[in-house]
Copies of this chain bind each other. A is one copy, B any other.
């Protein structure tokens, strides 16, 4: 399944808010539509947001009314400003925008048509790198799962959340191919039901045995020793390994510690932001109260009730067993592991971290 793609001058994306009931693809040549889609969660998942934002800038650069490099620059920065204000937590968004801006800067002397070509190539590179990262995350992560296991996951981290096969979900599908997934428990993930709508749908399509649970059911499952490991994605990982992810993730981390269950985070290195020192410095987006009080147009909650609806929580690094990236599996202490990783060349893992079930375990 391809949830995001560039096709003949047009950006095409699957509207995730309509899943699993309808598979509606939107095609647009307007970056504002892309920005609105990110804001409304029609496109969601930290890596997918980054890729979409990059293509948003490409659309701005290709706007039909542009006839000069100067006009392209103006439109580009207007689009960058617009896109940067869609969602605050996922660092992939800002990283992709900044990378595109740097590409524009570094090619200041190119003519209009070349500049458009270069920007498109850069966005495609960001997309391809995410596809590759997903695959490698799946390989590294599945090396941690050496026995047939029951896995608990939260929110959606699959093809919909990335340009590729996903982060935590890529680990699950790769481990499943190796015969090591007995069952996946998918948290429904209130308020927006990404688990019920997206993860369950994707895993069923992949032929994996998936059982949907409400978010409050994880405790009982762990008591009954039904969960061998927890794996989740990330929206931003701080320099010390503190991880912002969908609200409810921290609850799973506390339960996992209580029950001696490994708790893994899977994310591309683009989700690690060394400029964010710790979880305390990660801005946490608040969503509309309506997300909690209503399901679609149906009101559930008592009219007029106050709501607190953070989209994410932060899991402190000491609750995390390991962080799976496309360049290897990071182990505590994460501050040191992340510093070492960021010094190295991205996308070229040290030899001793190349996937090897024997070696990595």
Contact = CB atoms under 8 A, between A and B. Distances in A.
A214 B188 contact: no
Given A219-B250, A255-B254, A196 B301 contact: yes
A20 B298 contact: no
Given A188-B292, A250-B219, A250-B220, A212 B307 contact: yes
Nearest to A295: B295
Contacts of A207: none
Interface string A245-284: 0111111001101100000000000000000000000001
B200 A215 contact: no
A220 B250 CA distance: 7
A313 B220 contact: yes
A189 B292 CA distance: 11
Given A219-B251, A254-B219, A293-B196, A211 B302 contact: no
A182 to B, nearest CB: 13
Contacts of A295: 295, 298, 300
Interface string A301-330: 111111111100110000000000000000
A313 B224 CA distance: 11
A306 B186 CA distance: 10
A262 B151 CA distance: 31
A114 to B, nearest CB: 45
Interface residues of A, number: 58
A213 B204 CA distance: 30
Interface in A221-259: 221, 223, 246-251, 254-255, 257-258
A306 B209 contact: yes
Given A212-B293, A292-B196, A20 B302 contact: yes
Given A188-B292, A210-B305, A251-B255, 4 more contacts: A21-B299, A212-B302, A213-B292, A257-B258
Q: Which are the 3 A-B pairs with shortest beta-carbon distances?
A: A216-B248, A201-B302, A196-B301
29 contacts: A20-B302, A20-B303, A185-B308, A189-B216, A191-B214, A193-B300, A193-B301, A196-B302, A197-B300, A197-B301, A200-B301, A200-B302, A200-B305, A204-B304, A210-B305, A212-B292, A212-B308, A213-B292, A214-B309, A215-B215, A217-B247, A219-B251, A219-B254, A219-B313, A220-B250, A220-B284, A220-B314, A223-B313, A295-B300
Interface of A: 20-21, 185, 187-191, 193, 196-197, 200-201, 204, 209-221, 223, 246-251, 254-255, 257-258, 284, 292-293, 295-296, 298-310, 313-314
